[in-house]
Amino acid sequence: MSIPSNRPLSRRAVLTCLSMAVWGGSMMPGSASALGLITCPLGTSQVSYSPGITNTPTPTNVSGAELSGLCTGVGLPVGVSSFTTSFAGTATLSCSGLFTMGEGEQTFVWNNGATSTWHYTAMTPVIVNGQRVITSTGVITSGLLVGMQVTQVLTLANLDLMQCASPGGLTTTSGPSTYTFTSL
């Protein structure tokens, strides 16, 4: 059945068609929407180092966890509001080489059980008001929101690099973290 060309569409029909054209992509599971801007502010990040990091390069076990803040925005699937992620590995670290560029993969576990994996590159930090601010960028390569660009800004609050000269070394870093997801 077709709509006669001489009959105008109702305002509701026009708005429904426009909404589907603009927002339709955000309703498809696992894909980035045509327009997407999602923010997850006020998260937390904590990393542990064993043995503690000193000024001498040493093989170190690194483990950590992050909890996002409440996520909101355009393109966020219904029922998805936060994520957690954890990581672990071994690296040869020293305080002088701790905060340099690096890259890796990380998987977000969303509050609804879905996952997203992103490949990131962490930039050398900048110092803002005495705190190290690390920005990481990358793309979600699989899972929920695949194809979206991710930016993480992590502020290492109260970082005490004097611990690097102590026998136990620097054993933890932590701070607030904000994630932003955008469509490419």
pLDDT tens for the chain, 184 residues long, are: 333 444 443 333 322 332 333 333 333 344 444 578 999 999 999 999 999 999 999 999 989 999 999 999 999 999 999 999 998 888 888 988 777 778 889 999 999 999 999 999 988 888 888 788 999 999 999 999 999 999 999 998 878 889 999 999 999 999 999 999 999 6
- pLDDT given at position 107: 96
Domain ranges of the chain: 33-182
- pLDDT given at position 160: 87
- pLDDT given at position 25: 36
List the one residue out of 174, 175, 183 whose CA is nearest residue 42. 175
- pLDDT given at position 8: 44
